Copies of this chain bind each other. A is one copy, B any other.
Amino acid sequence: MTTNTRETAPLPSSVNPVERLALLTGADLAAVDAVIHARMGSEVALIPQVSQHLVDSGGKRLRPLITLAAARQYGYAGDAHVKLAAAVEFIHTATLLHDDVVDESALRRGLPAANVLWGNKPSILVGDFLFSRAFQLMVETGSPAVLNVLANASAIIAEGEVMQLRSAKNLAITEADYLKVITAKTAALFAAAAEAGAMAAGAAPAHYEAMRDYGRNLGIAFQLVDDALDYSGRQAVMGKSVGDDFRESKVTLPVILTLQRASEDERRFWRKTIEVGVQEEGDLSRAIEFLERGHALGETIERARLYARAARDALDICAESEIKSALADIADFVVERAY
């Protein structure tokens, strides 16, 4: 494992910044993958089967990568960051398993979701197992302050998920309320991933708080782009189904924005499809048409761009490094996904 990243030759700018960051963290990401595969093991065969389906389904490991990068940025030379990064990915995976049950999802990363393949019960229980494994890994690293960051994030994520449940079918939700939901359900783990890495490396409070801000803003940008992509044809290319949020009657930012200036006719459409939940042939296309005509998708991406900029700005305090530059570029990259 090399801790000095400045000796490596600069990478061509055509390499996307997530891949660049993976290369910059050297053997760390492979070490995380080894921990993930070792620790999702159990003599109860169904556990590694269900876990592996998600773990090896082509996730980008963005969250653990951020933990590794934050630790490296602060010159960390130990190996606790590898376990922390694996714990972050386990929390994420557990959340996905439970989300897919709650949302009755059919697809996840282009593959049938675990709840479709094995049913809801294994998804719930294997999720619980992975949550517990995450805590075991965190406990092994032994830092109470870092444990605290990740334990708090887990509670906040669950709160965000419940908030979202309550705001489903609710067209009256405000943009501010919606930001609260996604700050909890999505951004809290990005924030904790970044903060925990810096903290484990012994960064000063101003620095681990900056990393937390970076992660939180990145996470919000990430979720807003996801919200827009859900109504975009680009989803199909990425192996995701289009219109999942619509079918699940989730009120996301594009819908909130379009409602702010919707005609009575359009309002009636959203009430029928989201509040009442009656969706007919052609309704998804009509929804997309309304959202595009009202520029709600573009505006959602613009909002995401603001958060991406805030993420970039949060890094100002960090010493210049290739890792810092890759982290900053990831903020832009997350928004560029939309195009």
Given A139-B147, A142-B144, decide whether A162 and B132 contact each other with a Cβ distance below 8 A. no
The answer, yes or no, to whether A128 is at the interface (CB within 8 Å) is yes
A178 at the interface (CB under 8 A from B): no
Give A201 to B101 CA distance when docked, in angstroms.
Answer: 41
The secondary-structure label for the interface of chain A is helix
Given the interface pairs A101-B124, A102-B124, A121-B102, the reply to whether A47 lies near B162 with Cβ below 8 Å is yes
Known A-B contacts A128-B131, A135-B135, A144-B139; the reply to A159 vs B47 at CB < 8 A is yes
The reply to whether A135 and B151 form a contact with Cβ atoms under 8 Å apart is yes
Name which residue of chain B comes closest to A118, CB basis.
Answer: B165
Residue A237 is within 8 A (CB to CB) of chain B in the complex: no
CA distance A181 to B148 in the complex (A): 32
Question: Which residue of the partner chain, among B46, B124, B132, contacts A98 with CB atoms under 8 Å?
Answer: B124
Q: Is A125 an interface residue (CB 8 A)?
A: yes
Across the interface, do A44 and B163 meet the contact criterion of CB distance under 8 Å?
A: yes
- Chain A 122-145 interface 0/1 with B at a Cβ cutoff of 8 Å (1 = within): 101111110111011011101010
Q: Which of A136-171 contact B (CB under 8 A)?
A: 136, 138-140, 142, 144, 147-148, 151-152, 154-155, 157-159, 161-163, 165-166
Interface residue? A42 (CB, 8 A): yes
| Residues of A in contact with B, size category | 35 or more
Which single member of B129, B136, B165 contacts A162 (CB below 8 Å)?
B129
Name which residue of chain B comes closest to A135, CB basis.
Answer: B151
How far, in Å, is A40 (CB) from chain B's closest CB?
Answer: 11
In the bound complex, residues from chain B placing their C-beta under 8 Å from that of A144 are: 139, 142, 144
**A43-B142 Cα distance, complex, nearest whole Å:** 31
- Contacts known (A136-B155, A147-B139, A151-B136); A162 close to B122, Cβ less than 8 A: yes
By the criterion CB–CB under 8 Å, are A165 and B132 in contact? no
Q: What are the interface flags for A98-132 relative to B under an 8 Å C-beta threshold, 1 for contact and 0 otherwise?
A: 10011000000000000000001110111111011
Closest 5 CB pairs between A and B? A129-B158, A132-B155, A132-B154, A128-B158, A135-B151
User: Which residues of A are at the interface with B, using a C-beta cutoff of 8 A?
Assistant: 42-44, 46-47, 98, 101-102, 120-122, 124-129, 131-133, 135-136, 138-140, 142, 144, 147-148, 151-152, 154-155, 157-159, 161-163, 165-166
Q: Could you name 17 residue pairs across A and B whose Cβ atoms are closer than 8 Å? A: A42-B162, A46-B162, A101-B124, A102-B121, A102-B124, A121-B165, A125-B158, A125-B162, A127-B128, A128-B158, A129-B162, A132-B154, A132-B158, A133-B155, A136-B148, A142-B144, A147-B147
Beyond the given A43-B159, A131-B158, A136-B151, could you list 6 further A-B residue pairs with CB under 8 A, ordered by the A residue number?
Answer: A124-B124, A125-B161, A126-B158, A129-B155, A132-B154, A138-B151
